[in-house]
Structure 1
Amino acid sequence: MPKFGDRIHQSSRPAINSQIPSDPDHLSLVSFLLDRTSSFPDRHALVDAATGRTLTFFDLHSSIRRVSHNLIARHGVKKKDVILIFSPNSVDFMVAFLGIVASGAIATTVNPQYTVAELKKQVDDSGAILVFTVPELWDKVRVLNIPTVMISTGNTRVSAFAMADSSVPVTHFNDLLEEDFEDSIHQGDGLDITLSNQNHDKDGVAALLYSSGTTGVNKGVVLTHTNFISSALMVMTTLDSRGELPNTWLCFLPMFHIFGLCIVAFTSLCLGNTLVVMEKFKMEQMLTLVERYKVDDVFMVPPVMIALAKQGNVTRFDLSSLRRLFCGAAPLGKDILDKLASMYPKTKLIQGYGLTESCGIITLVDPEMDAICNGSTGTLVSGVEGKVISTDTLESLPPNELGELCFRGPNIMQGYFNNIEATALTLDKEGWLHSGDLGYFDDEGRLYVVDRIKELIKYKGFQVAPAELEGLLISHPEIVDAVVIPLPDDEAGEVPIAYVVRSAKSSVTEKDVKFFIAKQVAPFKRLHKVSFVKSVPKSASGKILRREMIRKVRSKL
């Protein structure tokens, strides 16, 4: 039973502190991965779902080492340089990420759907000096005018893109895989895990993953090597402690997001699993791959779970290998869980909860101990503490009382990049992360996430910041004021809608406003409805009373 004292919940799962490397030479998340997987070089590590291309752990280790060395030797990459990955999922995405981190640089990832303006904003904020991308996204990348590494897709040649704009240096990803140094990759019967990287330390930054946090526009979440290692161990203590043989996992969740990158891809590799990588989700392809590769575990988000539940039992595919379906990114209703449980009685349904700021994990359902279909996101993972505080008094609350969820542990971010004010609002002096989420713990220590205090809109697991869209709306010459709020949606979870105040002589239409926003933002941020109002409710200090608008809209549903 979880520990509870001084109104602080503590995990009852095995401690992980002793497993976090203390040796400075092994504090890199890459060294941690290579240490754990050096004894089985011939085991499959990554499989490309579209082509069947496979990398063994030997191939993976060798590729990481070569990319790391060549970034330093050929591109002059130095410790703490920021390198951006702007690409859909692929086997090479993970090789690039791990190679960047092994070089001592910091990786930052971007949603491939981002517009040029959104992309440039993150490049400017992070100070990225190099970008990894694919030919299909070159038109967006070329305007950045920074050196580029092109990950090939199909038979596309980089030279054609380089010739289109010779002022932008373009390197083929395969060039980084060339071995032009003498060190042997072999070491006895295992693998040489000595990297050509620069020194790391426990607080060394591994990645900047952008999140809207509790308020406002995107901010760089500073995640360390220890954060990644801790999060992986937190998942592994639940799955690996049973002495299971290596499994096959399927990943279609985007690797630019902490869920896909750390909780699925990095953790899978650390476990010695085979990871089948899909570029993006397609239901038919997912089911085909489960059958073809005898997939054990699939990680999903609520819209996929809902789609799976709605299509009923699938009989034309052999899904008997499925042992677990994991769901995260947003709460999933009990009705959907119950339906899936009846459809797949031999498959464990596991909900989890985490944030980018917690390196992807806070709670996880233990299928052997926790109730599976009660709507809970499970109990605290190893090493994490939790408490619930009153939104009015900030005092800690007892079980079953609703308040803001706060967490502390080795997986919690270092802060927001170059943003002292935002960091202070989210991380207090005692190390507690104030999540902005509303919820409670029950008497058994299970967590229930009820709502969000923060004003983010969750569209299919993606974060949409109302403030960003409101700023764009107000920039329209015929719009005086605007408020953006979430509208509940069965498939997406929530969709953004806007209430707009037009100028006196304006004739702008809903269609006009939608198009104005659509051409400036990624598809998941587009407005689904625009209504015109005389005024936007605000407090005496001028703050938009967004929750008042939300209550009014939901009362009419």
Structure 2
Amino acid sequence: MRSIRPEPVIPDADIWTSLFHDLSDDDRALPALVDGTTGDVMTYGELVGRAEAFAGALAAMGIRPGDVVGLHCPNVPAFAVAFHGILRAGATATTLNALYTPHEIEVQLRASGAVAHVTVSPLAPQSIAAAHAVGIADDRIVVLDGLDGHPSLAALLSAGHAAPDVTIDPATHVAVMPYSSGTTGKPKGVMLSHRNLVANVAQCEPIIRVERGERVLAVLPFFHIYGMTVLLNLALRVRATLVTMPRFDLAEFLRVIQDHRVTFAFIAPPIAVALAKHPLVDEYDLSALRTVFSGAAPLDEQLGHRVADRLDLEMLQGYGMTELSPVSHAFIRGEGATTPLGSVGTVVGGTEDRIVDIESGDAIEPPEHDGLSASGELWVRGPQVMLGYLDDPEATAHTLRDDGFLRTGDLASYDADGNVHIVDRLKELIKHKGYQVAPAELEALLLTHPDVADAAVIGVRTDDGDEDPKAFVVSAPGADQDAEALMAWVAERVAPYKKVRHVAYVEAIPKSASGKILRKDLKAAE
């Protein structure tokens, strides 16, 4: 289905030029980033000046257009300086998860061909060890907040090198290379061009509607494509103020919203669970918060309404993936009440989607009236679709079709208005007695139980080679742990083949920094 939303105007420019070419004197005085922990403010003028000086310092190190630079840093204002400095120099940023081990960092730096690396002192032990392992010398390992033997941000800025003159083709030059497992297999370098990033900002701007001067909470990591595009680039494009948090802690999250009068928060579903259920929420003044946008994983409809009702705000949802830069579907801010919260909305402007039967390959159409269509794999085509996977033509060919459609690997359905409802990842579906069971559906149901604070579901192999749904449950404070009663409660609410057949109580559900349940960790523990 072709989007019914207006076709976006996509500038033929690199992301730096697209974001900052029209920066006015008034813009320069606006706060661009506020450190939510310390309260330190960086204006737009300071951000642009520092990023250009950082680009000049990289060029003085010998970094040239097309070189890959690693960036291993939590959400602090200096991340934006380094990230946009790398892009301004014409280099490619490969962003790394702040929780990575030395081995994981080494694997990504080696695979991406990084020739320099940027980090911060709290992450330096693992980061520097990994950089050394791939042959990056100390004078090319920047520790932003300073560490003996390595260039610091302050030292690089004080050197006063002018930003280089670079000429690139926005359509083909790789701006960023985050790593993603894609629809299947081990993490792969996702090559996103400047045009991919510019296009997705242009597509999101009229839909997500972040406003000039608005205070936007940046707790979702900038190293992840969700935080990179929807937070960092979109907010900077419209001259909003990003209030950064280096990690999620519920009390600190609530304090930052309260003290900084945050009006717009981008979250993942695990944070929505806390906002809906945790008693600590009532101890803070969150009255400035007008909009919460959930992404990175499916948000259950009932959970979304509980957050909206408890905090008296507009709850929105969107869908995307790293390979889509990332947004392909989203609610329109201000019109959230007209879109079913169990969906991710309709396709963004300039984009087509298609839901395809996984057996026949036939396209599935929206139903004429109420209800949902049959489910199938969601495909997307548009200017935000990646160039491909680095050095992996086989995986690229599997994911990117010759006609330009990207196979998302997600199972989805349409409603009559063309809103897409995500069922689950195809690779995570549980096959029980020949039936498909979506873990996300059971997780959403479990979260409605008053004794459940959090939950995850996986398939576990039985002796006869079948799969049973197994739930891992975090108990609500003071709740009884009665696995049999919980399984009986679920059984009353689902078809027989969907019943949870095993329950394990755990301290916490393992999740990625972007909020996705790490089912592989749960399976590995079996």
Tell me if both proteins adopt one fold, taking TM over 0.5 as the criterion.
Answer: yes
Matched, 1:448 2:416: no
CA separation of 1:65 and 1:367: change in aligned 2, threshold 3 A:
closer
The answer to whether structure 1 residue 12 and structure 2 residue 4 are counterparts is yes
Matched, 1:427 2:416: no
Residue of structure 2 in register with 1:81 after alignment: 67
d(CA) in 1 for partners of 2:63 and 2:303? Answer: 48
Aligned CA-pair RMSD: 2.7
Change over 3 Å in CA distance of 1:90–1:492 after alignment to 2: farther
Structure 2 CA distance for aligned equivalents of residues 79 and 456 of structure 1: 42
**Superposed displacement of residue 227, structure 1:** 0.9
Cα separation, 2, equivalents of 1:495 and 1:261 = 29
Structure 2 counterparts to residues 30-49 of structure 1, below 5 A: 30-39=16-25, 40-49=27-36
- Determine if contact 2:55/2:86 at 8 Å carries over to the other structure: yes
How far apart are residue 131 of structure 1 and its match?
Answer: 0.8
Q: Percent identity, please.
A: 33
* Counterparts of 1:447 and 1:529, CA distance in 2: 29
Residue 365 of structure 2 corresponds to: 398
Partner of 1:167: none
Letter in 2 for 1:234: Q
CA distance in structure 2 between the aligned counterparts of 1:269 and 1:14, rounded to whole angstroms: 22
Pairing 1:414–2:387 present: yes
CA distance in 1, matches of 2:104, 2:459: 20
State the shift of 1:77 in Å.
0.3
Which amino acid counterpart does residue 428 of structure 1 have in structure 2? Answer: R
Displacement after TM superposition at 1:495 (Å): 6.6
Tell me the distance in 2 between the aligned counterparts of 1:456 and 1:216: 16
Letter in 2 for 1:222: M
1:258-312 Cα deviation digits (max 9, x unpaired): 0111111111111100000100111111221212221110000000000110025
Is the alpha carbon distance of 1:326 and 1:247 closer, same or farther for their aligned partners in structure 2, counting shifts above 3 Å? same
CA offset digits 1:324-365 (Å, max 9, x no partner)? 0000011111111121122123x1100000000001201111
User: C-alpha distance in 2, partners of 1:94/1:380?
Assistant: 29
Question: What is the CA-CA distance between 1:203 and the residue it aligns to?
Answer: 1.8
Q: Does 1:216 align with 2:185?
A: yes
1:481 corresponds to which residue? none
Question: Alignment partner for residue 267 of structure 1, among 221, 224, 234?
Answer: 234
Letter of the structure 1 residue corresponding to residue 160 of structure 2: D
SS of the aligned residue for 1:89 comes to coil
Are the equivalent residues in 1 in contact too, given 2:124–2:143 (CA < 8 A)?
A: no
Letter aligned with residue 30 of structure 2:
R
Distance in 1, matches of 2:269 and 2:68, equals: 32
1:158 aligns with 2:138: no
Cα separation, partners in 2 of 1:256 and 1:317, compared to 1, 3 Å:
same
Aligned pairs (5 A) from 1:316-331: 316-331=283-298
Match of 1:225 in 2: 194
Q: Does 1:117 align with 2:103?
A: yes
Amino acid at match of 2:186: V
| Residue segments in structure 2 that go unaligned for 5+ positions in a row | 367-372, 431-438, 448-452, 464-511
Given candidates 285, 310, 322, the residue that maps to 1:343 is 310
Return the letter of the residue paired with 2:84: L
Whole-Å separation in 1 of the counterparts to 2:200 and 2:248: 24
Number of residue pairs aligned between Structure 1 and Structure 2 = 444
Q: CA deviation at 1:317?
A: 2.4
Deviations 1:380-414 (A, max 9, x none): 11111101111012121111221110001111101
Q: Specify whether residues 492 and 454 from structure 1 end up closer, same or farther in structure 2 by C-alpha distance, changes over 3 A only.
A: farther
Equivalent residue number for residue 501 of structure 2: none
Q: Give the counterpart of 1:135 among 121, 129, 142.
A: 121
How far apart, CA to CA, are the structure 1 residues paired with 2:356 and 2:459?
30
Distance 1:497 1:108 in 2: 33
| 2:341 counterpart residue number | 374
Return the alpha-carbon distance in structure 1 between the equivalents of residues 4 and 523 of structure 2.
Answer: 46
Distance 1:526 1:383, change over 3 A: closer
Corresponding residue for 1:303? 270
**Aligned residue identity for 1:54:** V
Moved over 6 A (4+): 495-501, 529-532
Q: Does 1:180 align with 2:163?
A: no
Please state if 1:52 is matched with 2:39. yes
Q: Deviations over 1:470-491 (max 9, x none)?
A: xxxxxxxxxxxxxxx9995856
Partners of 1:102 and 1:306 in 2: CA distance:
39
Partner SS state of residue 237, structure 1: helix
Report the Cα distance in structure 2 between the residues aligned to 1:456 and 1:119, rounded to whole angstroms: 30
Structure 1 position 198 matched with structure 2 position 166: yes
Whether 2:22 is the aligned partner of 1:21: answer no
TM-score by length of structure 2 reads 0.79
Query: 1:270/1:348 Cα in 2 relative to 1: closer, same or farther (>3 Å)?
Result: same
